[in-house]
Structure formats: C-alpha cells, structure tokens
Amino acid sequence: MAVLGGLLLLLALLLLLVAGLYCCYVRRVHAAYDHIPGAPRESFLLGHLPIFWRMMKKQEFLHDLFLEWTKKYGPIIRVNAFHRVSVLILSPEGVKEFLMSPEYPKDRLVYGRIFNLFGVRFLGNGLVTDRNYEHWHKQRKVMDPAFSRTYLIGVMETFNEKAEELMEKLEEKADGKTEFSMLTMMSRVTLDVIAKVAFGLELNALRDDRTPFPHAVTMIMKGMTEMRIPFVKYMPGKQKMIKEVQESVRLLRRVGKECIEKRREAIQSEKEMPTDILTQILKGDALEETRDDENILDNFITFFVAGHETTANQLSFTVMALSQHPEIMERVQAEVDEVLGAKRDIEYEDLGKLKYLSQVLKESMRLYPPVPGTVRWTGKETVIEGVRIPANTTLLFSTYVMGRMERYFTDPLCFNPDRFRKDAPKPYYSYFPFSLGPRSCIGQVFAQMEAKVVMAKLLQRFEFQLVPGQCFKLLDTGTLRPLDGVMSDGKLSLAMHRAAALFSPEVTERPSAAASCTLQRRTVSPCSLSQTHRCPLGSQPGAQVRAAPRREGTHGKVHSQILAVPEPSPCSDGWQLQVSLIRAVNSAYSFWIVAQSFHVCEEFPVGFLSSFLC
Ligand code: HEM
Ligand SMILES: *[C@@H]1O[C@H](CO)[C@@H](O)[C@H](O)[C@H]1NC(C)=O
C-alpha cells in the first residue's frame, strides 16, 4: 500500500515537474516573440485560441478577425497557441520576400496533415503538398507542358461542350418546383471538365448525379472539413461518415489506378495520346529510376481536389457579386453580346476580347478568393517592415485580408472591376488568389479560361437577381482544431474552398450545405422588364450585403444594350423568345435569375431580339 502511495506521489510530482517545465518553455517562446505586435493573449497557455473557438462557434470567418487585427496592430501580427507562435504577414514586402522565393517551404504541420485522410493515403506527396523542393520541382517541370497556352487552346472544345451541358441542365430545371443548388451545379461542371481534360475520363457528373465518383469527391471534401474537428476520429457519431470518406478516397485511388494502367497500355501499343495531365505524369514517372505509383495516384487525387471546387466557388461568387451590381452586370452582358452575339461555341480568340469579364472575375477573387491564403515556414531570421521575425516560425498569408485593406485598395469593400482595368496600376504583392512565386497555381490559366467560358455562356442566356431582404456573409463552416486554430486556415486552402463559398443570412444556425434554387419557366415580354435596384455593399467586413426590395413585376432589364440591328430578315418559321425565371429559395441564400433561352436563327445577335420585341 505504502509502495503504491509512494509511486502515486512520485508520479504526481513528475507530472508537476513536466507541467512546470512546459510552462517555462512557453514563457521562453513568448519572450522570443513578444516584440511582434499582436492582440492580447486571452490565456497564458491557450493564447488566442479562445477567440478563435468563439468565432468558430458563431460560424464566423477567421480571416475577418485578422482584418480587424491588422487595423489595430499593423501588417505583421503575432498569433499564439500553446507553445506555438505563427506570424501573420500582411505586407507586400513580406509577401514578396516569402512567396517569391523557393527558400521558404510550405509549412510541415499544415500540409503534412493532409498526407492521409482518416488514415488512408490522400494527397500524399502530390504537387500541392510536396514540401521537398527537388522532388516538387521535378514534378512541376514534368506537368508544365499540359498547362501551356498552346495545349490549353485545344481544350476549348471540352470547356464549350461541358458548359453547354450545364446550360441545358439549368434550363431543364426551369419548372418552378425543382430545387437545386447553384454551387452544386457549378461543382459538377468543373468536375466533368477536370476529369475529361486531365485524365480523359467521362464522369458525367452533370448528367447523372448518382454516379459514385462525384459522390466520392463530395465525401472527400466533406471529410477535409470534418477532420478539423478535434478528436473526430473517436466520436461514435462520426464513424459512419469516416468510413464513407475512407471508402471514397480508396475509390478515387482505385479509379486512378485503372485509368493509369489503361493509359500505360495505350502508350505501349503506341496509340496516339493526348498531351493531357495524365500523359505528362506518366512521362515524368518513366524518367525516374524507380516507379512510384503511389505518387502518381497522389497527383490524380490532387488534381481533382485542387482543380474543381476552387473554380466552382469562383463562379458562384461571381454570380453573387453580379446579382448585387446590376450596372456591372449590364456592362458585362453588353460585352458578351458584342463579342459573342448568339454564337454557341466560344473560341479562344473570343476570350481575349472579353476584357471586362476578365476584370469582373479578378475583382470577384479580390473580395471572395476561393483559396484565402497560404502558409510557409521560415528557417532563418528575417526583418520585415522593421519587425524581426525569428527563425523556425510558421508564416500565414492571406489574400482575403490584404484584398480588403484600405492600405492597398481604396474603398476596399466596393466591388469595382475597374480596379483591374488595363491602364490601372497593378496591385503590388497585395493580391494573390492563385498564390505567387514557384508554388503558385499551375492551373491558373486553365481555370480562368474555363471560368470565362462558363460565365460568358451564362451571361449570354441568363439574368440574375437577388431576392429581397437577404443578407450575405462569408462563412467558414469548418470547425477548427484547437491546436491549430490558426494553421487550419492555410489548410489548406483546400479545405476552405468549400467553406468560403457558402452564403448565409446572418444567422447563428448552421448553414445548409449550399444554396438551393428552383427554376421556373415563364414567358414574359422583355418590354415589361425594367431594371430597378442596386445593392450597396455593407460596411461590415465580411461584406454583408442587403439587397433592395424587388419590385413587383420587374425582373431586370434584358440586354439593354441593343446591338447593330440587322435587317429584319425572313426567318420564316419565326423565332420564340422565352424568358425563364429562376428563383432561388433557401434560407442560406437565394436570388432570382431571369433566364432567357433562345431558339433562334443563329445569325441574329441576342440584342436584336429584345430590340425587336420592344
Ligand atoms: C479559380 C480557381 C483556382 C484557384 C483560386 C486556385 C488557387 C490556388 C492556390 C492559391 C494555390 C496555392 C496553394 C497553396 O499555397 O497551398 C494553388 C495551387 C495549385 N493548384 Fe490551383 N487554383 C484554382 C484552379 C486550379 C485548377 C483548375 C487546377 C488544375 C487543373 C489547379 C491545380 C493546382 C495545383 C496542382 C497546385 C499546386 C501547385 C504547386 O505547388 O506546384 N488549380 N491553386
Ligand atoms: C531552428 O531549428 C533548427 C533545427 O530544427 C535548429 O538547429 C535551430 O537551432 C533552430 N533555430 C532557432 C533560432 O531556434
């Protein structure tokens, strides 16, 4: 008995000693970083974590807090959590130094966490997560040709085909009853595109939402959000979800494997091969002494994860922003009409002419970057903006915050595509939705071509409008893990993509997964349509927007810009003009889309119709 008591006492003393030593260590860490400005710590050990936890509970977006902080504490800010200190860098000087150089690797803790997903190999050492410069560089060099402009021009056909399918789907839903999610539709089209272009796979996510592959991708995205919940692995209520996520990752890897084997056979029998991403990956692998099939599969998954939801979010945000700014919508529609008219297939040359649309897409990513930031690690001491940043520190970057800072953008909360006019000064290391430097997005041009094709077709045929009384707010749906409250922002970027795209009224309840809409087909004379309201952007960070009330019977002007009217021509079997009303009904977000679908002789530019009718 006495022995046991003694042992227990010893154990207690030992614990006390360890706790004491740990506290001393934390104190030393504090001392090493406390010269860096930052919000007061709420607790000695937890640091700023309690603040993050409270925000997460309220479904608030962590980057909005950073935006507040930078107003008080400047562009270099310290963030404490236990013995770890990260430094938020919101200065162009810092962005340039750390992102443009290969010297600062991605942070191990953040990116290492997605090597596996619930124990199943996930992104592994794929292009996004690879932290070894040599290995990454080899992979990147091998894949670059698949993203060259010349190759991408050939991909226009696929962009057109899939975007056209989306348009068909949208019109199909116009029955006034069917509820659907805009973000989901965008995700499906981008998923179909990446599968086809990168790996030659016809997924048909748009046509058939029951096929297992798209579902698996959705589950994986969900898994990436859920894994941020502390101890989720041990929660009985989550076991089913975890199993499904694991199964989904395995399914993706299995499909990838089949896909790779097929392609290898084809290469061997010397059939003609597309220069797609898969061919590039296999070529690269053939140069290696040892084949690394697992690494190839890492990249297979990486492209699905990195290449579809990002673009889908950008598209959804752009639809939202345009709905809020009728005058901008009108201008971009006019451009689309001028460049495309009623043309169905968009050509590569057309993309260059859609200048204002490019500006709109860029501006949309300034306020709503699908990937809000990135994370680096520095192994050496650096001085930025006169602040000494110690070696061995995690660095956080946020294009979301910098895009909303008055210091870098005048009237930052105002959605104004003219900021990106050709003759306007370029943002100086304060805007990086695709990141910057060696680790910037390989799919940037790809994504912007795809986004333009989809948006141009959408604008050519549909009109959007907000339902009255809505309040829009960016949401971070994920629950961050306590130990990495701050880190999880960078986490990736990828986990946050989906979060950032949710719009929700300003409520505390959990947002529903995505906006749902119903479509209704209607015949309305365009003459009765007149533009009514503008939606001022709220002054709150987080861009809460309240739309003005929708007046009865007005659905927005349809193509006010009348193009050169051709001679009224003998289009003998006549034409019909249909204006469909798409209504979004959902507590999370909703808007009206007035859709036009034309069954016309192809020669007539869109503007002709409205002018004729009126
Ligand atoms: C609007 C759409 C997109 C946005 C906003 C976006 C944004 C980004 C960002 C910010 C990074 C850096 C991530 C980090 O620092 O951890 C990145 C990397 C990457 N993205 Fe994208 N991306 C988009 C579309 C795409 C597409 C369509 C593809 C594939 C076809 C793609 C493939 C990749 C890959 C492979 C990387 C890793 C690059 C490397 O480290 O070498 N992305 N993207
Ligand atoms: C940084 O870490 C390395 C290795 O982990 C170590 O050798 C070095 O002393 C550390 N530097 C500082 C300033 O803590």
* Residues 419-440: tens digit of each pLDDT: 999 999 999 999 999 999 999 9
3-class secondary structure per residue, 461-512: HEEEEECCCCECCECCCCCCCHHHCCHHHCCCHHHHHHHHCCECCCCCCCCC
More confident site: 17 or 582: 17
Residue 390 alpha carbon, nearest atom of ligand 2:
13
Query: How large is the average pLDDT for residues 237-258?
Result: 93
d(CA 60, CA 474): 8
- Each domain of the chain, given as residue ranges in start order, spans 121-613
Give nearest CA residue, ligand 2 atom 13: 391
318 lines ligand 1 (CB under 6 A): no
Residue 391 alpha carbon, nearest atom of ligand 2:
13
Helix H segments across 531-573?
A: none
Q: How far is the CA of 391 from the centre of ligand 2 (A)?
A: 7
Asked whether the predicted pLDDT for residue 604 surpasses 50, the reply is no
Query: How large is the average pLDDT for residues 24-33?
Result: 96
442 lines ligand 1 (CB under 6 A): yes
d(CA 451, CA 163): 10
Q: How far is the CA of 219 from the centre of ligand 1 (A)?
A: 20
Q: How far is the CA of 380 from the centre of ligand 2 (A)?
A: 8
More confident site: 368 or 531: 368
Give the ligand at the shortest distance from the Cα of 317.
1
Choosing among 3.90.1150.10, 3.20.20.20, 1.10.630.10, 2.30.110.10, the CATH entry for 121-613 is 1.10.630.10
527 assigned ligand-binding residue: no
Q: What is the pTM of this model?
A: 0.79
28 lines ligand 2 (CB under 6 A): no
Give nearest CA residue, ligand 1 atom 14: 374
Predicted pLDDT at 321: 86
> 177-197 pLDDT, tens per residue?
566 667 778 889 999 999 999
Query: How large is the average pLDDT for residues 309-335?
Result: 89
Question: H or E stretch including 245?
Answer: helix 239-268
Asked whether the predicted pLDDT for residue 253 surpasses 50, the reply is yes
Lowest mean pLDDT among 166-175, 364-373, 389-398, 498-507: 498-507
- Strand locations in 90-125, DSSP E? 116-117, 120-121
More confident site: 72 or 267: 72
Residue 302 alpha carbon, nearest atom of ligand 1:
35
User: pLDDT class for 596, splitting at 50, 70, 90?
Assistant: very low
Query: How large is the average pLDDT for residues 339-345?
Result: 91
More confident site: 446 or 503: 446
User: pLDDT class for 175, splitting at 50, 70, 90?
Assistant: low
Asked whether the predicted pLDDT for residue 469 surpasses 50, the reply is no
SS3 365: helix
Q: What does R_g of the chain's alpha carbons equal in angstroms?
A: 26
* Both structure tokens of 249: 């990752």
Residue of 113, 276, 310, 445 with the most ligand 1 atoms within 8 Å of its CB, for mutation: 310
β-pair partners for 171: none
Sign of the alpha-carbon torsion through 152, 156, 157, 158: positive
- Strand locations in 348-501, DSSP E? 373-378, 382-384, 387-389, 393-398, 462-466
More confident site: 30 or 516: 30
391 lines ligand 2 (CB under 6 A): yes
Instruction: Work out the mean pLDDT of the chain and round it to a whole number.
Output: 75
User: pLDDT class for 267, splitting at 50, 70, 90?
Assistant: confident
- Strand locations in 6-114, DSSP E? 76-81, 84-89
Task: Report whether 332 contacts 359 (CB < 8 A).
Answer: no
Q: How far is the CA of 323 from the centre of ligand 1 (A)?
A: 27
Predicted pLDDT at 437: 96
* Both structure tokens of 438: 């060696």
435 lines ligand 1 (CB under 6 A): yes
Q: How far is the CA of 450 from the centre of ligand 1 (A)?
A: 14
Q: Which amino acid is at 350?
A: D
d(CA 150, CA 555): 42
* Both structure tokens of 346: 């968009």
Give nearest CA residue, ligand 1 atom 23: 310
More confident site: 236 or 604: 236
More confident site: 478 or 266: 266
Predicted pLDDT at 172: 77
Instruction: Give the single-character DSSP code of 571.
Output: -
User: pLDDT class for 473, splitting at 50, 70, 90?
Assistant: low
Query: How large is the average pLDDT for residues 96-105?
Result: 96
